[in-house]
Structure 1
Amino acid sequence: MKTIRWTRPLAAVCVSLLMGTALIGCSSDYHNNNNDSNGGDQLSDSQINAPNGQLSATIRTTTGGVPHITADNLESAGFGSGYVQARDNVCIIADSIIRARGERAKFYGPGPNVADALPVGVNIVTDFSYKALGLLDRANEQFDELSPESQAMLRGFVAGYNKYVDETDAADLPAKCAGAPWVRDISVQDLYAYYQLVALYASGDNFVKGPLFAAVPPGVSPAPAPAAAASVSTPTSAQATAIASALRAATPEALGLKSDYHERGMASNGWGIGGDMTENGKGALLANPHFPYTGNRRLYQSQVTVPGVYNVNGSALIGFLIPLIGFNDNVAWTHTVSTAQHFTLYDLTLKAGDDLTYIKDGEEKPITSKTITVEVNVGAAQPVPFQRTFYYSEYGPMLAGNVINSNLPAWGADFAGRPTALTYRDANTDTARQVIDQWLAMGRASNLAEFQQPFQSCGSVLWVNTMYSDASGQAFYIDGTSVPSLSPQALQAFSARVSSNPVVAGLAANNLTLLDGSRGIYDWVDGSCNGLVAYDGMPKLERRDFVQNSNDSYWATNPEAFLTGYSPLFGPTENILSPRTRMGLRMLENPTDPGLSQVAPAGSDGKFTGEEIINALYSDRAYYAETLLDELRTRCETAGDTAIATGSGDSRSVADGCTALANWNGVYNLDSTGAQVFRVFIGQYSPTYPAQFSVAFDPANPETTPSTPNPAPGDVSRDPMLVALAIGLNRLDQAGIDYDTPLGEIQYQQPYSVSPPGGNAAPAGNPIPWHGNQNFEGGFNIVSVDTADVEDGTRYPRYAPAGTLPNTGSLSTTPGEGWLIGYGTSWHFGLNFTDAGPQGYGLVSYSQSDDPSSDHFADQDQRYSAKNYRKFLYSDADINADDNLETETIEGTAPTESDDADG
């Protein structure tokens, strides 16, 4: 064991916080970390705040770079968390902060155009939009209203982050941000503003690349202008008109508007398994988020312990100070992205001749405005301030409707026989103030009643479902997200509106609710939770067998107990389930059946353990392989060497592809040959329901229907399955991929580096073979290609394929390159409770640090590739016995007051 003692005082240089330190020796007297707290206990000041502001945390780092942080109070625990996260991922946090502050253009310049036809830099557009959302303004206003626990932990995290920044020479930072001026001390308001941004991932954050920026009255240009005399010309009238037109003509895809959460890097699988389905009668859990491998939605594992108060091992989005998915001695939980809606759109009825006044229930209402300033680096000695006016209704910011959807009207255009303008109300505008308290209470719970309590008190988990299990063998599901509360009368009136207005109906089919802003009946019901659905109205289920979710709605959480009768804003019911959900249910409902793999999900006894759960995930099964492969092989035998039509006027034999399929083992292991053939087949076949299947969807049996391909036609050359195969094989030929190459040679994760700041991304080390399958294949252990040229949620460049082929799961156009994985199974584990405590097994698939010089940049990547999961260390005895243990104690002084974040 190596012990590190800190002897250097904090640097005196601080931008937003004054800090000092008092030195004490490194202690080896660790506290017993049993979670002996009660989620309902009131905490004392000494449990919350560091005495006299003197912060101290002990950090034990174990195999894989996992920090176990122990402190005597929550403030010091936050201090340790901030320090280790900066140590491992400072560049990500620094970029996240300037994003929330609306300062990317100040440091990075205007950035590339938002769309080819839109001559406005993306950094300018998003900076204005985030400021229009008021993230930093709200942080300044609300920080003093946060709970003592939240304030203390935010202060601590910021102090820890700043300690690392102050003590690290700028040239010694990771290459992607070495010497960068945006890596600087932050304030508690900065961090809180970032939490508000994260809270809006499934709502307001959808609008920052165009709809907010383009929302101006008729005749007004959205082009910003210099705020004062400067050597930067104001856009001409023609340029301003071009900008306005380009914004409205740009496609939603070009502007980053995506309703599919997977496309936004947000999807997951989760199982809560009750005692009836485990070997020892205690609970078990699968946590399997599918998030991007790069950028600010990376997950980071840590254990945070304040004896007698809190003790959770888990992971959080980088920059969050306590785990969001994890476990303690008695309870474990995970999250998946919900289908629920977290905002409602409103079309306002404008007053005739007045584009800044709307009519509601016969009363005139003003559309207000606010002038916002953004600084832009234009290559001069100092950034140039630019200004723009943004507009607001009583509900929230105005939106350019025709940018969101071509069927929606522009501001002032006719809609349903009246001049209109679009706005929205966001259910997560203010929920960030509860984020720390919500997850702190969940992590302090020792049983289901305590775990449910923060939900019952109008808490929110923002935009994710929750699956839970505990040591008593109880499993629990809840969609505890922030969902607008509409009255029964409003829901009935909206249903009639859907029936009569095809635009409203089309939006509703895509999970968007457009309400008539001229009628007060559509206002949210204040109720007990300030306009949000309260606990009693949330979909939830307690079971002793299982609960599960893979991003379908709450409806089929367990097909033995369908959930119905909830607000339609929580998502659809009695609808076809995704193939990924069906693959998960297939494993849960048939726990001794290995399918095409060699792995029975729960072993021969059909009773799960944590280790069996992780192995079930790693079995790399896929629903469509298990339901369509036999039929496809049969049709291959019928086809022989027959030339199969490809739909482009020519034809080809599929015999070689059929041979590869005959030799495929049906799963997506590194040594699997032929998996690529099935992938391009299913990508082209792209099952549609019920058109291609003879057994119709049955709401009573959603796990298995629809099913069974339609009978083969008499003309083999035009068999839809074989045609799809022929087209897919052409794609493989085009990409230079052999049909029988082992999957691990053509599906891989490529570590890369970025140097210097603003430079290009280049490979860092050899490609790492990557097992797993894709969503459209009906895979469960999901991996996929990320084609973005910047890291998720950042402006850092990333290594990506130069181009991809359609209907192939983003197969690279570069000959022989294959699938360059950048998204999917990330932080993941199987866990079961035992008499000896929680036993968890898993990995952070892309490792703990994004710094190529770190020992923990690719160590867990290699383990994922080899299916060599870690046993999670939780007890003091296990942590202290780790062969790679390093121990350090860090100290500092908390800020004495909340400085203005704009100071």
Structure 2
Amino acid sequence: MRNLHRLTLAALLGLSITACSDSSDRSPSLPIEPPVEPPVEPPVEPTFSAEIRRTEYGIPHIKADDWAGLGYGYGYAYSQDNFCVTMREVALASGRWAEFTGDNVDRDLLSRYINGTKEEFTANFFEKLPQRDQELITGYAAGMARYLDETGVDNLPDGENGCRGEPWVFTPDRIDLMMYLRSIALQASTGQGIVRDAILAVRGPDALQDASAKSLQVRSGLKQDLSTAGRAMRPAESGSNAIALGSDATQNGGGLLLGNPHQPWNGSGRWYEAHLTIPGEYDAAGASLQGLPWIGIGFTRDVAWTHTVDYATRFTLYEVPLNPEDPMQYEFDGEYRDIVETTVSAQQLLDDGSLETHERTFYSTQYGLVLDLGGVNPAIGGWPTFAGTLMTMRDANLDTGLRSLRQWVEKAQATNMEEYRQALRYIGNPVFHEFAADRDGGMFYGQISAVPHVDQAKLDECLTGIGALVASVTTNAFIGLDGSRSACEWGEDADSPEGTNLFGLDSHPQILGTGTAGNSNNSYWLTDATQPLEGFPVVFGWMGHEGNQQFLRTRITHQMIADRLAGGDEFSETPLFDQETLKTLMYSNRVHGAELVLDDVLQICSEYLDGPGADPSSAAALAETCEVLTNWDRRVNVESRGAQVFTEFWGGIRNTYGSPYQNVVVSDEFWAVDYDPADPIATPAGIDLTVQANRDLVIEQLLQANQRLTDAGVALDAPWGEVQYLERNNENVPIHGGAGTMGVFGAISASLQDGGYINPRAGNSYIQVVTWDESECPIADTILTHSQSVQPDSDHYADQTKLYADKRWVRFPFCEEEIQAAQIGETLILEE
């Protein structure tokens, strides 16, 4: 690793050299005066200063005396590994992507509307951040800029994840970085593709249509279209598991935490490990998403925390009646208000190298941007809709970025669970459930993210018109309220963050205690399966809301917790958890879907093959398929043989009966034991063998699974590690874990292609198991499944991936003596 030494500026004293000459016309000598000493300049204090040390697996430990220096060191260290990943996102968020590349000018125009000009964004957003936050972001951008300046555009990494010579590489400043950080908070709302498309589809009143021309035949297709749209509304690659354990659940009486986010393995959704320290003020280790200047999931000397994606409501649609005489006005409380027009411009690079200016007008109401949902169904699109109305939306996360950094810093400064809980009062979390544990045996769970203040009474009163239809079809994934009445506007709590209409801290579902909490992306309802959280409006979590069927991954999470508390599993004869049993749970790789149905599948298969109606043309393939499943260990370990068969089989069952909004198999006929809200962890279960359609479906899907695998060139009984792997420098690194939708706790998202499930796109990513003993140092075992760097020539491109393949862990060095023992390379001192 390159060693940059501290640079000191020194004043150079010039020596006067008198040239001798024999010339007779030499000027007469002048009196010699003593030289004048130049004034002594005080030393120039560096604007930024940081120390960087790296430990095994490329983990940087950055230490600075202030926030600007901490950001500077982190921005530089991160850029050494993954500069191009964040540079690309910064360029996209800047509203200049089409200017650089010629592509996607519409995205730039929308960014220009949301953020305003750079000057407007500075005044309206950046300067409203606390000084500490401004300094950290400023330093991080300066660290990225230094790396770019030293490296040069033409020497940047090349290849798929590189940006050498790319036109979109420029020197980022703090505003460029902040625009990117803000875009992250909008990913589950205004930043969703389906929402962006609906905003950009608006063409204004010139597109006015006769509402009576929208026929009932068009509206009849609304349900199916919205079901398809629902898949687009869910964060496709995001998920996670978390388990927080207090003193009642641990063998040593201390806290214990498992963080298992399921994030993308490529792009800005990847994790990056680091340790950030300002002595006496901030000392946190763990991982950040690419380009974020703070620790997102991690631990300190006293506290550890993690998140799972939370499917609460992030925005509400509002339906407003248009003025029949003026389509640029809408009705509110019996009066008409004007729709606001805002025109923005952006430049697009043309083939001849010139720039063309594009303009677009956006329309907004008091609620926010006007949408045209005609791309979902023509009946609810246009200006107006079939009901003579207009659809608009209000986004709960438009200003969350102003509060995020403050919240994450204060979480890391907490020393116990109540202090941690109080740090959440800013509601700076855009999309996550919160989990934490501390060294004294406290634990915390909170569904404390940005949720619009719409209580159940308001929902019951205001969910009307198109909004009610949309909500019923999507099981409340989309909520549309009556925008004509002030009674339907968002409310507030006494502790709502200032200037927002979000639910305040104390209104959110939460647990503060010494017991257990676990979540695998369902709602808050069964976070403690023994004491459900109930009585909250659906906006706090429409996915798996109170009384609804739960994910298979949720169910196996709580079954494993219950078994471990009772000592009823194979991990240890001693009840309760310790660090080793929690790590074993993480890597257990059970397939809960198989535990529920495989015995019935094999019985159906056997009876079919032994019966008179078996098709001779497919009997051999079916017999082979069922034999492989019979011998399969019902896990997705690298040595498991047959997991691919069940993966494809269960995918076929889900395609038949899967719910696009609840992510579970829903059927009145398929299950032998139907879902029971009073027993949500154990039900539904089994296949109803008395229903011939179920038997036919099983045989059909077994044969289709065989065919898909055969077509892909995958042997049915090949070891899972030879079928699911990550390609790294001409080496196939086996990846254990499997599809979360079939009930695998350690979820891996990978699609079948020629040769297998190659190069998973997401899943287990940064995993941490953290606890404490009597020493001052936290005990953190971690793994970064995709490894630290995206660059193939890095030593840290696949090193942790290979550890993961062997179910190993990294003991994260936190205290000074641990860092010194694990340090690789020289200490780097950066100053500017």
TM-score of the superposed pair, with normalisation by structure 2: 0.87
User: Against the structure 1 CA distance between its residues 694 and 715, is the aligned structure 2 distance closer, same or farther, given a 3 Å change threshold?
Assistant: closer
Q: Which residue of 1 aligns with 2:200?
A: 213
What corresponds to 2:482 in structure 1?
516
- Match of residue 561 from structure 2: 588
Of the candidates 584, 595, 618, which is equivalent to residue 615 of structure 1?
584
Equivalent position of 1:901 in the other structure: none
Gaps of 5+ in 2: 11-43, 209-221, 655-664
CA distance in 1, matches of 2:478, 2:336: 27
Amino acid across the alignment from 1:739: L
Name the residue aligned to 1:859: 799
Question: Does structure 1 residue 677 correspond to structure 2 residue 645?
Answer: yes
Give the length in aligned residue pairs.
Answer: 761
| Alignment CA distance shift 1:352-1:677 (3 Å) | same
Relative contact order, CA 8 A, sep 6+: which one is greater? 1
For residues 779-794 of structure 1, the aligned pairs below 5 Å read 779-785=744-750
Q: Distance between the aligned counterparts of 1:643 and 1:738, measured in 2?
A: 29
List aligned pairs for 1:696-845, cutoff 5 A. 696-712=674-690, 718-751=695-728, 764-785=729-750, 810-812=751-753, 814=754, 816-836=755-775, 837-845=777-785
The aligned counterpart of 2:85 is 92
What is the deviation of 1:568? 1.9
**Number of the residue aligned with 2:13:** none
Deviation (angstroms), 1:494: 3.1
> 1 CA distance for matches of 2:417 and 2:693?
60
Structure-2 change in CA distance of 1:506 and 1:656 (3 Å): same
Partner of 1:124: 105
How many Å separate the matches in 2 of 1:566 and 1:513?
Answer: 16
- Matched to 1:376, the amino acid is Q
Alpha-carbon distance in 1 for matches of 2:228, 2:97:
20
State the percentage of identical aligned residues.
Answer: 31
Post-superposition CA distance 1:17-70 (Å, at most 9, x none): xxxx879xxxxxxxxxxxxxxxxxxxxxxxxxxx95532111111111111111
Q: Secondary structure at the match of 1:423?
A: strand
Aligned to 1:240: none
Preserved contact between residue 611 and residue 841 of structure 1 (Cα < 8 Å): no
Residue identity opposite 1:478 in structure 2: G
More helix by proportion, 1 or 2?
Answer: 2
Aligned to 2:824: 884
> Match for residue 134 of structure 2?
151
> Cα deviations across residues 800-822 of structure 1 (Å, max 9, x unaligned)?
xxxxxxxxxx311x3x3444412
Structure 2 residue identity aligned to 1:669: N
Map of 1:409 onto structure 2: 381
Alignment of 1:322-401 (within 5 A): 322-401=294-373
Instruction: Give the structure 2 partner of residue 28 of structure 1.
Output: none
Check whether the contact 1:609–1:831 (CA below 8 A) recurs between aligned residues: no
Please report how far the alpha carbon of residue 279 of structure 1 lies from its aligned counterpart in structure 2 after TM superposition. 1.9
- 2:623 corresponding residue in structure 1: 655
Structure 1 residue 570 displacement after superposition:
0.4
Residue 476 of structure 2 contacts residue 538 of structure 2 at CA under 8 Å; is this kept in 1? Answer: no
Please state how far the C-alpha of 1:129 moved relative to its aligned partner. 2.0
Note the 1:181-192 alignment, pairs <5 A. Answer: 181-192=167-178
Please tell me the residue identity of whatever aligns with 1:579. Answer: L
* Residue 282 (structure 1) aligned with residue 259 (structure 2): no
**Is the Cα–Cα contact under 8 Å of residues 879 and 885 in structure 1 kept in the other structure?**
no
Aligned match of 2:4 in 3, 6, 14? 6
Change (3 A) 1:769 1:191: same
Q: Does 1:109 align with 2:99?
A: no
Which has the greater radius of gyration?
Answer: 2
1:736 positional shift: 2.2
Q: Which amino acid is the alignment partner of residue 749 of structure 2?
A: S
Alpha carbons 2:48, 2:68 under 8 Å: kept: yes
Aligned to 1:427: 396
Aligned to 1:469: 437
- Alpha-carbon distance in 2 for matches of 1:198, 1:180: 23
Change (3 A) 1:675 1:216: same
SS at match of 1:767: strand
- Structure 1: tracts of 5 or more residues without a match: 10-20, 24-50, 111-122, 222-247, 752-763, 786-809, 893-903
The one of 451, 455, 458 aligned to 1:483? 451
Q: Matched residue of 1:627: which SS?
A: helix
2:538 is aligned with 1:568: yes
Within 2, Cα distance between the matches of 1:252 and 1:179? 43
- Name the residue aligned to 1:636: 605
Match of 2:518 in 1: 548
TM-superposed deviation, 1:634? 3.1
More moved, 295-304 vs 136-145: 136-145
Give the conservation status (yes or no) of the 8 Å contact 1:689–1:706: no
Amino acid at match of 2:773: T
Cα deviation digits, residues 554-593 of structure 1 (max 9, x gap): 0111111111122321022111110011111111111179
Alignment of structure 1 residues 220-299 onto 2, 5 Å: 220=207, 258-261=232-235, 263=236, 265-299=237-271
Contact 1:293–1:826 (Cα < 8 Å) also in 2: yes
Q: Is the 8 A contact 1:737 1:818 kept in 2?
A: no
| 1:643/1:664 CA distance change after superposition, 3 Å | farther
Aligned mates of 1:725, 1:811 — CA distance in 2: 16
Query: Which residue matches 2:165?
Result: 179
Amino acid at match of 1:522: C
Give the aligned partner of residue 502 of structure 2. Answer: 532
Shift of residue 376, structure 1, vs aligned partner: 1.1
- RMSD (Å), alpha carbons: 2.8
Q: 1:490 to 1:54 in 2, by over 3 A?
A: same
Contact kept in structure 2, 1:105 and 1:377, CA below 8 Å: yes
TM-score (structure 1 length as normaliser): 0.80
Distance 1:594 1:560 in 2: 17
1 CA distance for matches of 2:74 and 2:400?
22
Q: Distance in 2 between matches of 1:652 and 1:421?
A: 59
Rounded Cα–Cα distance in structure 1 between residues aligned with 2:794 and 2:143: 19
1:277-310 CA distance string (max 9 Å, x none): 2121101111111111111111111010111111
Give a deviation string over 1:744-780, Cα, whole Å, max 9, x none: 11111124xxxxxxxxxxxx42222111110221111
- State the secondary structure of the residue aligned to 1:511: coil
Q: 1:377 to 1:256 in 2, by over 3 A?
A: farther
1:213 partner amino acid: L
Mapped contact 1:210–1:255 kept (Cα < 8 A): no
What CA distance in whole angstroms lies between the structure 1 residues aligned with 2:274 and 2:234? Answer: 30
Taking the aligned partners of 2:392 and 2:713, their CA distance within structure 1 comes to 49
Paired with 2:455 and 2:225, the residues of 1 have a C-alpha distance of 34
Between 126-135 and 310-319, report the one with greater CA deviation.
126-135
Change in CA separation of 1:651 and 1:220 when aligned onto 2, cut-off 3 Å: farther
Could you tell me which amino acid in structure 2 is paired with residue 551 of structure 1? N
2:153 to 162, 165, 170: 170
Q: For 1:857 and 1:446, how far apart are their aligned partners in 2?
A: 35
Provide the C-alpha distance between the structure 2 equivalents of 1:318 and 1:271, rounded to a whole number of angstroms. Answer: 24
Q: Distance in 2 between matches of 1:254 and 1:581?
A: 24
Is contact 1:643-1:653 (8 Å) kept?
no
Contact 1:843 1:860 (C-alpha < 8 Å) held by counterparts: yes
Output the amino acid matched with 2:808. N
Contact 1:587-1:593 at 8 Å conserved across structures = no
Aligned mates of 1:501, 1:345 — CA distance in 2: 7
The amino acid across from 1:412 in the alignment is: P
Q: Deviations over 1:784-837 (max 9, x none)?
A: 12xxxxxxxxxxxxxxxxxxxxxxxx311x3x3444412111111212222223
Between 1:502-511 and 1:563-572, the stretch displaced more is 502-511
Answer whether contact 2:318 2:467 (CA < 8 A) is retained.
Answer: no
